[in-house]
Structure 1
Amino acid sequence: MRIVFTTVLLALSAIATALSVSALPYYDWKAGQLEPLVFVTAGLWALFALSLVTLRGVSGRASVVLVLVGSLAIGVAAMAGPPNTSTDSARYAWDGIVQNAGISPYTYVPSDPALEELRTDWLFPAPVDGECVGERIMTVDEQGTGDLVCTAINRATVPTIYPPASELVFAGVRAITGAGPEYWPSQLLGLLVSLGVTVLLLRALQKSGRDPRWAAIWGWSPLVATEGITNSHIDIVSALLLLVASLLVASGRRWLGGAALGASIATKLIPVIGAPALLGRRPLRVIVASVAVFFVLYIPYVIADGIQVLGYLPGYLTEEGYESGTRFIMLSLVAPGPASLVLAAVLIAATGALVWWKTDPANPWLGQLVMIGVTLLVVTPRYPWYALLLLPMIAMTGRWEWLAVPLALTERLLIPSVDLARISVAVAIVFIVVMSIRRAGWVIVSPRESAELAPQK
């Protein structure tokens, strides 16, 4: 009955995922109102939680099969329609198309007429009666000419923000599919990566004597389905590479682990926070390998474009409020303005130092969990896909309470209310702290109870 019940819940999750992608309109968070996707997402997280609970009653090979089948079914369902909360994968496709034409993605902005011959109809649809129409279509002025340009690419007037390893992935995908296919090539990549992470987690959990059912935290997660597959965020690739790096270092292969870490950082930069848990008392091999791979991946683009390889990163950080400190929604309560940036840097650096000091690279999972989780809680990004890095670490430790972090960040994306986001993050912090205290076996008693429990002389 547990197998049947879990199967039904997974089927419902797959159906709800497919309907949310195919039947609901593109979600515009700037509208500032509750839309159906908010309620469907809440339902998906509820089904996810129930599925994890019922899976506890399933053991042996059946549980492994359920994890794999559920991961595949939900992942395929997530490909039922185009992106529903983000247009980032349109930029991925464009960067790949440009590179396969022999042009560096850092040289020209998408609205530059120099690339006009590369513009495809689905990325640059023609105006209708002098206007740009479509859920994912934005209006920009062509660089230099000022002509109207309709495009699915966000920030089409600035250079790409993505590091070289991401750009190589984008080029590889479009080298296989060409420029014509719309969003499904990136979604298929997301599905394949998702399944790969599920398999890696199953093997790693079994090999280390842990419960393989924890792999469902990744495989069945609404975050993986929506942000890793439907919206195809490249963060799913960096999460895979960081998991591989951690597994390699844990098995003693520090050179290879460092290389995988460098590739992960060169994919999205954020995975640098995964380094402290992998360094230990002999950090040199990991550091040298990761730095070497990182710079090797950058060299061809630096030769072509020099400092332009930074792309829109500096502007993006300013735009998002990280330079001024306004984006740190929790820290700004106690340290408004630029002081939030300083406080965030201190907290993250202190966490990194503690993780480096306390973590054994042969068992890096709790250190990774704390480092990534604390960073997300400090930075409080409006983009929940950053938490894709965290999910494999939750699975490897079984500390399910940290799922409160991606859940809070998902709420922050879908409901544009800073006050509500602060409440969500605060609840997540309290919940994690309480559960961590319980896991540590600490008991808090009153002075009177302490006196009663004291041994009598």
Structure 2
Amino acid sequence: MRIVVTTILLVLSAGLTAVSVAALPYYRYEEGEVEPLVLATVILWALFALSFASLRRVSAKASIVLVLVGSLGIGVAAMAGPPNTSTDSARYAWDGIVQNAGISPYSYVPADPALAHLRTDWLFPAAVDGECTGARIMTTEELGSGDLLCTAINRPKVPTIYPPASELVFAGLRAITGPSPEYWPSQLLGLLTGLGITVLLLGELRRTGRDPRWAALWGWSPLVATEGVTNSHIDIVSALLLVVATLLVARGRRGWGGVALGVSIATKLIPVIGAPALLGKRPWGLILISIAAFLVLYIPYVISDGIQVLGYLPGYLTEEGYETGTRFILLSLIAPGSASLVLAALLVAVVGAVVWWRSDPSDPWIGQLVMIGSVLMIVTPRYPWYALLLVPMVAMTGRWEWLAVPLALTERLLIPSVDLARVAAVVAIIVIVVMSIRRAGWVIISPRTESKPRKAAEPVTRM
């Protein structure tokens, strides 16, 4: 009966995922099309919570099958339609097409007429009666001529922002599929990558005596389905590489772990925050190997493009408000303007130092969880897919309360109200702190209770 209940909940999750992708309109907050996707997201997270709660009553052996089948089913459902909140994967496709034509993606912007011969109809559809039409199509002008240009690529007048390892993935994917397929190649890559992480988590959970059910916290997560598969953000690949790096270091293979870490950083840069938990008391070997792997991927592009290899990164940081500090929605309450940037840097440095000093490289998962989750709460990005790095660490530790972080970031994306985003972030922090206190076996002292410790918390290997 427990298996049946869990299966029904998973079927409902997969069904709603497919409907939200295939039937709901493309998310555009400025046009008021908010409520359908917000409601679907709330229900999906509720079904996720119920499914995981039900799984806890299923035997360990049966739960492994359910985790794998559920991950596959929800992932396939997430491919039921094109991206619904982001067209970043259109840029992925374009960068791959350009590279396979022997041109560096850092040298030309998509709106440059020099690349007109590479434009495909789905990335650059023709205007209809002088207007660009389509849910995912933006209006811009071709460089030089000023002619109307319709495109699915966001920011078509700036160079790519993605690092070399990502560019190699884009080129490889389009070398296999060619330029004509639309969004599904990136979605399939996201599906396979997500399943790969699920398998790795199951294996490591069993190897270390932890509960394999925890892998469902990744495999069934609405965040993985929507941002890793439907919107197919490359962050899921960097998450896989960071998981591999952490696994290798935990098993004593620090050299290869350093290589995987370097490649992960060369995929999206953000995984650098996963380094402190892996360093140990003799950090220099892993640091140097990671840097070497990073440079091996960057040097060919630096030779061909020079400083242009930075792409749109400087402009992106300015656009997002990180240079002025306006993006730090919590810190800006106490340190307005550029002062919040300084405060954020100090907090990240302190957390990184504590995680480095306290983490055991043979079991670095808690350190990874605290470092990545804390940085996300300090920086408070408006893109929930950055939390794809965090969710595998949640699964490996069973600390489900940290899923409040991607939930808060998802709220910020779907309802871009600064005040509401601050409330969501504060609630997430409170949930994490309260649950951490409970896990530590502490109690909150009131005038009517004595100050005495509770019994020690149960080991993390138990449900």
Q: TM-score if structure 1 supplies the norm length? A: 0.98
Stretches of 4+ aligned residues off by more than 6 angstroms: none
Deviation at 1:450, TM superposition (A): 3.7
Deviation at 1:29, TM superposition (A): 2.7
CA–CA distance in structure 1, aligned partners of residues 139 and 111 of structure 2: 10
Q: Judging changes above 3 Å, is the alpha-carbon distance between structure 1 residues 419 and 107 closer, same or farther for their aligned structure 2 residues?
A: same
Matches within 5 A, 1:62-141: 62-141=62-141
Query: What SS is found at the alignment partner of 2:140?
Result: strand
C-alpha contact 1:32 1:416 (8 A) present in aligned 2? no
Equivalence for 2:457 = none
AA paired with 1:402? W
C-alpha contact 2:239 2:264 (8 A) present in aligned 1? yes
CA–CA distance in structure 1, aligned partners of residues 445 and 113 of structure 2: 71
Query: C-alpha deviations, 1:76-127, integer Å up to 9, x for none?
Result: 0000000000010000000000000000000000000000000000000001
Deviation at 1:447, TM superposition (A): 5.7
Deviation at 1:300, TM superposition (A): 1.0
CA–CA distance in structure 2, aligned partners of residues 7 and 449 of structure 1: 44
Query: What SS is found at the alignment partner of 1:336?
Result: coil
C-alpha contact 2:60 2:213 (8 A) present in aligned 1? no
Equivalence for 1:361 = 361
Equivalence for 2:418 = 418
Deviation at 1:33, TM superposition (A): 6.0
Moved more, 395-404 or 441-450: 441-450
AA paired with 2:251? S
Identical counterparts, % of pairs: 78
CA–CA distance in structure 1, aligned partners of residues 93 and 278 of structure 2: 33
CA–CA distance in structure 2, aligned partners of residues 234 and 364 of structure 1: 24
Deviation at 1:440, TM superposition (A): 0.6
CA–CA distance in structure 1, aligned partners of residues 449 and 189 of structure 2: 58
Q: Judging changes above 3 Å, is the alpha-carbon distance between structure 1 residues 33 and 126 closer, same or farther for their aligned structure 2 residues?
A: closer
Query: C-alpha deviations, 1:257-289, integer Å up to 9, x for none?
Result: 000000000000000000000001011221111
Equivalence for 1:243 = 243
Query: What SS is found at the alignment partner of 2:290?
Result: helix
Query: C-alpha deviations, 1:193-246, integer Å up to 9, x for none?
Result: 000000000000000000000000010000000000000000000000000000
Matches within 5 A, 1:328-367: 328-367=328-367
CA–CA distance in structure 1, aligned partners of residues 71 and 24 of structure 2: 22
Query: What SS is found at the alignment partner of 1:139?
Result: strand
1:322 and 2:314 aligned: no
Query: C-alpha deviations, 1:155-199, integer Å up to 9, x for none?
Result: 000000000000000000000000000000000000000000000
Equivalence for 1:144 = 144
Matched length: 453
AA paired with 1:34? V
C-alpha contact 1:70 1:220 (8 A) present in aligned 2? yes
AA paired with 2:268? K
AA paired with 2:24? L
Equivalence for 2:274 = 274
Q: TM-score if structure 2 supplies the norm length? A: 0.96
AA paired with 1:313? L
Deviation at 1:30, TM superposition (A): 3.1
CA–CA distance in structure 1, aligned partners of residues 199 and 112 of structure 2: 43
Deviation at 1:442, TM superposition (A): 1.2
Deviation at 1:449, TM superposition (A): 3.8
Deviation at 1:443, TM superposition (A): 1.9
Query: What SS is found at the alignment partner of 1:149?
Result: strand
Equivalence for 1:3 = 3
Equivalence for 1:377 = 377
Q: Judging changes above 3 Å, is the alpha-carbon distance between structure 1 residues 401 and 132 closer, same or farther for their aligned structure 2 residues?
A: same
1:205 and 2:192 aligned: no
Deviation at 1:342, TM superposition (A): 0.6
Deviation at 1:373, TM superposition (A): 0.2
Deviation at 1:34, TM superposition (A): 3.3
Deviation at 1:35, TM superposition (A): 2.3
Deviation at 1:445, TM superposition (A): 1.8
Deviation at 1:451, TM superposition (A): 7.7
Matches within 5 A, 1:40-51: 40-51=40-51
Matches within 5 A, 1:368-407: 368-407=368-407
Deviation at 1:452, TM superposition (A): 10
Query: C-alpha deviations, 1:15-37, integer Å up to 9, x for none?
Result: 00000000011001333563201
Query: What SS is found at the alignment partner of 1:140?
Result: strand
Query: What SS is found at the alignment partner of 2:139?
Result: strand
Query: C-alpha deviations, 1:117-161, integer Å up to 9, x for none?
Result: 000000000011111111010111111111111000000000000
CA–CA distance in structure 1, aligned partners of residues 317 and 449 of structure 2: 52
CA–CA distance in structure 2, aligned partners of residues 256 and 326 of structure 1: 39
CA–CA distance in structure 1, aligned partners of residues 132 and 439 of structure 2: 55
Matches within 5 A, 1:177-196: 177-196=177-196
CA–CA distance in structure 1, aligned partners of residues 126 and 82 of structure 2: 20
Query: What SS is found at the alignment partner of 1:111?
Result: coil
Matches within 5 A, 1:276-295: 276-295=276-295
Flag structure 2 segments of 5+ consecutive residues without an equivalent. 454-463
Structural RMSD (CA): 1.1
AA paired with 1:277? A
C-alpha contact 1:71 1:219 (8 A) present in aligned 2? yes
CA–CA distance in structure 2, aligned partners of residues 188 and 299 of structure 1: 30
Query: What SS is found at the alignment partner of 1:300?
Result: helix
AA paired with 2:397? T
